[in-house]
Structure 1
Amino acid sequence: MPYRVLQAVGLAALTTCLVAIYFRQQKLSAIHIHLNTHEMEHRDVIPGDKQKTTVKALPALAEPWGSHHMFLRQAPYDPCPKQFIEGTWTSKRSMGNATLPLTLEAQREIHEHQHPPDCSKAKYLVYAVHPNGIGAVFHVTGVALHLALDLGRVFVEQSGTFLTGHPKCNGKDTLDSCYFLPFSGCRPTEEQMKSAVTISFEDENLLVQPGADPTTLHANAAVVIATHGALVKIRAAAPRRFQARLSATAMDPKKHYYWWRAQSVAYMLRPRPEVLADLEERRSRLLAGPTPLPGCISVHVRHGDKGVEAEVFEDKMYDEIAAKLRALAPSYFTDQLFVSTEDPETINYFVNQTNGKWHTGYTAGVPRKPDRHRPNLAYMAEIGYYEEMLNSLLNLDLALECSGFVGSIFSNWVRLIDELRATMRCKANAVFADVHYQNPHEMDVNW
């Protein structure tokens, strides 16, 4: 072949290669910019259609609204995984495009830890769930999972959890047998449980000693029983295995433990197939007002007995904060709310007393708790634990379909919404507005 022909062929090949590299870099840069400027992609499946897609983009916002409240500065998020671990509670109706840093990595590590290849070699940490509100149950149980990771033990929920005391559970007396996929792939034998060792006060101190190796704690015991004191000792930190990686992110070190709350609840709240089917049936029967669509704002109002332990806020305050959130990006946020609450007066306020400012969706025909002085646990027992759990999960699912979020971080349920929107629903770059803190980065995220 003549030299000039070879030269021409070579130049053409080189040019093609350079163009391909250029466009690849442009694509990668676009992805990076896409996550940094907090564009959020919403996909909404319209019943009867072939999955029509509606796309809206949240414009870049100035701080304190330009980054997740756990961040010290604006920084990239992790992209929404194409596939999470088995059973992750994603949505066919509304997903974002960004998760908190290390989310997929953490979910995979938890699952691997909780499903060892050889159960005969496994050692266990067992925790008995204490009666509490559902949000608080998961947050405290998440600290028990943290403790198990630090001790190198498989976390197991002790049988007899109060929320399973209902005929619908039919003898399945743990959260991860009645409602959710198993937290672990192994369980201790009866013989191992008989020789279980309970963590002592001295053991609790070892858990936080600098340089101590927690895996040496009762190393020969097949089963260790967690105490509430041990959970209190470690609650203000993330599991040890994640601490160095978290320090390399833009997240506030004081809130690394909150990142763990988000990861632990994302792992635990993986509903069983029959529960998902029940939720779909309830949605079709109980959802009143408009269906949550891209641009809607979730408002969760916690009244009831919360006033015993924290400040509560009246409906007008939530109304005003939702309006301020909408004003941040009026072309993106709509006049549609989804309101979840245990207070029937709050539903009445947003449906009938806002002078047409909002189109409000909510669940109708579900038991609520009108007496603020009556303990929440008493209402739960009266309503029935299964009904309370399923109606709560339905409200949670609907709230997570929105694009902006309003609530009081003092509420465990609000924290649950905030944590799950930023993990399994890939809305870490959405806006969360608190009714007490004007600057979300200054929030005390509590337990």
Structure 2
Amino acid sequence: MEAMNQKSLERVVSQRALQMGSSFPCQICVVGFLCGVCLATLFLAALTSFGSFDFNGISFSMGASSASSPWNSSSDAINMVKSTDCKLKLKETERWFNSQRSTMETDNERVSLLHLVWGALLTESVHEEREFLLKFGLNRSSVPNAPHLENCKLSAYINMRLDTRAENESFPPWTNRKGLLDMYPASTAKEQLGSPRHRPISEGVYPPWITGSDEENYPLTRKVQRDIWVHQHPPNCWDPNVRFLVADWERLPGFGIGAQIAGMCGLLAIAINEKRVLVTNYYNRADHDGCKGSSRSSWSCYFLPETSQECRDRAFELMDNKEALEKGIITTKDNYSSKQIWAGRAPRVWGDPWSYLQPTTEINGTLIAYHRKMDRRWWRAQAVRYLMRFLTEYTCGLLNVARHAAFGKEAAKMVLTGLPREWPNVEVANNSRSDIEDFVWSSHRPWIPRPMLSMHVRMGDKACEMKVVEFEKYMLLADRIRKHFPHLNSIWLSTEMQEVVDKSKLYPHWNFYYTNVTRQVGNMTMAIYEASLGRETSTNYPLVNFLMATDSDFFIGALGSTWCFLIDGMRNTGGKVMSGYLSVNKDRFW
């Protein structure tokens, strides 16, 4: 009986041991133990074989005699040779590391130099540019093109050309050709006589400031933009049937740039409904030394004017005509109530295209398919797109400075990978331009790190108008976007609060970019904050942020903010509808 019990016990123990031996943790332990034994054996064998080794100038020796181990049958001469080889290899490694460090330092110096040179080329002074290049022993031909900077003089020329009627034509040269291609010399008689290149706008060619397909923009965007331009540019401004609405930009204390633009969108709606040409007048935010000549105190400092110079001249002439005012040939902002301007009826010329907006805005995890102010959202998007359709040379320059400060060194690293290591001591090969660069690639937008997420964090005194959300919630939404687009790691951060910029440093897995401007510390009204910056800075840097947001691939903001509302409108008429919009709150009027 005892023998049977003993055998049963042995079987149980054997089965238990087998189960334990076949378990994964046990297998890991066994493999680890065997690997440790092997490594220890090899290590001891190496030490006893080489006799001594050297690490960073410190020598270690084994004291075992030749009789104590069969591994020590080699002569002392062989041990000395092996010890010397080891020392030489370590010295070679040290030299390699020093060489790499020297190379990195040289590369950083080249990046800094190219960044400085590009920055010097942003100056408008030819003399200053020449002095800077001479200081570093460079000439213009040895400086590679900066991919993140735009040729503002060329862009301003193209924009003005596309906003002005061609000679003996009813419309500007809006063709199927983009950029400067319509200026490329015609190659055949057929092209010279009746090509699609000169097909009139009435046959289906639309304004060039709309990008993306129709599905990537709000409904009817191309047609609406064309019709607004035609409405605002009558062929003959002195025709007695042409009527005008002349309006200053809002300048009541507490009105931000967003409110001013929203008010002008309302006045443009009134002008279209009453078949008047809108003419904007005094713009207080452009009343600074940065805006030169006739563009001072005018919207045209930043964007091309809303109508032609001929119509502006005619409207201001009629302002001095009492009879024209009495007969309603010309009206001013004082002719309309605040309700008409701020909550007036959106033009119905195009039906009700807002009724079939695509639901691409998400709030609290839900797409917004309908709300009470869809007509206002659609119209403001069209109006702000028209008012900002073309940048001036001044605004283009502001964007160049901002991009250079934010992305300039990254661009320099990228460009230097394609240059000889001897640069700047050698000329840049093939720096001359070809037709494809001048006529085709000239229409490409300046380089920025893509994909780019723009984030506008509005806090401060905005709490009296909307629900203010902490920065952490914005970042949760950013992480949601990156889960679907894992290659996204760049954020253009727009905010008036220094606290937000400081918190961004807690997210090292994101690359944050922002304008270099003094921000609010603590809580103060926006009016006081803007006054502390001065008129020029308090106007320029928000507009730069606005335009960077419209060009970014994704956007996170607060629809309760008029500024975010307008950014959303620009994006939805700029080919970004399908990028979506994650908002931390809803508009207070929905």
Partners of 1:349 and 1:415 in 2: how far apart?
A: 25
Distance, in Å, in 2 between the alignment partners of 1:142 and 1:157 is: 11
2:268 matched residue in structure 1: 145
Contact 2:288 2:296 in 1 (8 A): no
RMSD: 3.6
**Cα distance between partner residues in 2 of 1:133 and 1:195:** 33
**SS of residue paired to 2:246:** strand
Q: Distance in 1 between matches of 2:523 and 2:223?
A: 41
Deviation string, structure 1 residues 253-303 (Cα, Å, up to 9, x no partner): 740221111111111113212321232133213558978533332211012
Structure 1 residues 261 and 190, CA gap change in structure 2 (3 angstroms) = closer
Aligned counterpart in structure 1 of residue 562 of structure 2, from 409, 412, 417: 412
Mapped pair 1:180 → 2:303: yes
Which AA in structure 2 matches 1:359? N
Question: How many residue pairs end up in the alignment?
Answer: 338
CA contact (8 A) 2:207 2:222 kept: no
Q: Aligned pair in 2 of structure 1 residues 49, 434: CA closer, same or farther (>3 Å)?
A: closer
1:366 corresponds, among 509, 512, 517, to 517
Of 386, 393, 397, the residue aligned with 2:547 is 397
State the secondary structure of the residue aligned to 1:243: coil
**Structure 1 residue 86: deviation in Å?**
6.5
Q: Within 1, Cα distance between the matches of 2:498 and 2:531?
A: 19
Tell me the residue number matched to 2:224.
106
Q: CA deviation at 1:324?
A: 2.5
State the match for 1:439 in structure 2: none
The separation in 1 between residues aligned to 2:292 and 2:334, in whole angstroms, is 28
- Which of 165, 177, 180 is equivalent to 2:287? 165
* Counterparts of 2:382 and 2:543, CA distance in 1: 18
C-alpha distance in structure 1 between counterparts of 2:287 and 2:208, whole Å: 24
Query: 1:343 corresponds to which residue?
Result: 497
Alignment of 1:236-275 (within 5 A): 237-247=345-355, 252=370, 254-269=373-388, 270-275=390-395
Aligned to 1:207: none
1:313 paired residue among 462, 469, 486: 469
- 1:95–1:401 CA contact under 8 A, matched in 2: no
Say which SS state the counterpart of residue 578 (structure 2) adopts: coil
What is the CA-CA distance between 1:96 and the residue it aligns to?
Answer: 11
- The answer to whether the 8 A contact 2:288-2:297 is kept is no
Q: Secondary structure at the match of 1:224?
A: strand
Mapping for residues 47-446 of structure 1, pairs under 5 Å? 88=209, 98-121=216-239, 122-131=242-251, 132-159=255-282, 161-170=283-292, 172-185=295-308, 186-187=311-312, 188-195=314-321, 220-227=327-334, 230=337, 232-233=339-340, 235=343, 237-247=345-355, 252=370, 254-269=373-388, 270-286=390-406, 292-327=448-483, 329-331=484-486, 334-350=488-504, 352-354=505-507, 356-363=508-515, 365-373=516-524, 375-424=525-574, 426-436=575-585, 443-444=586-587, 446=589
**CA offset digits 1:337-390 (Å, max 9, x no partner):** 22111111111111x113x23222222x223233422x2223323323232222
TM-score norm. by structure 1 comes to 0.66
Quick check: 2:214–2:221 contact (8 Å CA) kept in 1?
A: no
CA contact (8 A) 1:156 1:184 kept: yes
CA shift for structure 1 position 412: 1.7
Alpha-carbon displacement from aligned partner over 1:130-157 (angstroms, at most 9, x marks no partner) = 1221122111111111110001000011
| Distance in 1 of aligned mates of 2:213 and 2:459 | 29
The C-alpha deviation readout for 1:149-176, integer Å capped at 9, x for no partner, is: 00100001123x2112212224534443
Question: In the superposition, relative to structure 1, how do residues 296 and 96 fare at CA in structure 2: closer, same or farther (>3 Å)?
Answer: farther
- Report the CA distance shift for 1:196/1:170 in structure 2 as closer, same or farther (over 3 A): farther
Larger radius of gyration: 2
Aligned partners of 1:197, 1:409: CA distance in 2, in Å? 44
Query: 1:276 & 1:124 partners in 2: Cα distance?
Result: 30
Amino acid at match of 1:298: S
Distance 1:400 1:245, change over 3 A: closer
Q: Give the match for residue 128 of structure 2.
A: none
Q: Residue by residue, what CA displacement relative to the aligned partner does 1:187-219 show, whole Å, maximum 9, x if unpaired? A: 245552134699xxxxxxxxxxxxxxxxxxx99
Structure 2 SS opposite 1:293:
coil
Taking the aligned partners of 1:250 and 1:295, their CA distance within structure 2 comes to: 23
**8 A Cα contact 1:310 1:410, kept in partner:** yes
In 1, distance between residues paired with 2:380 and 2:494? 21
Alpha-carbon distance, 1:422 to partner:
1.4
Q: 1:282 and 1:220 mapped to 2: Cα distance?
A: 48
Residues 190 and 428 of structure 1: CA distance in aligned 2, closer, same or farther (over 3 Å): closer
> Are the aligned partners of 1:338 and 1:361 in contact in 2 as well (CA < 8 Å)?
yes
Shift of residue 241 of structure 1?
1.0
Q: Are the counterparts in 1 of residues 456 and 564 from structure 2 also a CA contact under 8 Å?
A: yes
Aligned twin of 2:17: none
**Partners of 2:376 and 2:335 in 1: CA distance:** 17
Q: 1:247 Cα deviation (Å)?
A: 4.8
CA 410–227 in structure 1, closer or farther in 2 if over 3 Å, else same: farther
3-state secondary structure, aligned to 1:241: coil
Letter in 2 for 1:110: I
Bigger Cα displacement from structure 2, 147-156 vs 232-241: 232-241
Per mean C-alpha deviation after superposition, the further-off stretch among 162-171 and 133-142 is 162-171
Q: Judging by fraction of residues, say which structure has more helix.
A: 2
In structure 2, what is the Cα distance between the partners aligned to 1:130 and 1:254?
23
Structure 2: distance between partners of 1:182 and 1:244 = 28
Compared CA separation, residues 282 and 313, structure 1 to 2 (3 A): same
Q: How far 1:433 sits from its partner (Å)?
A: 0.7
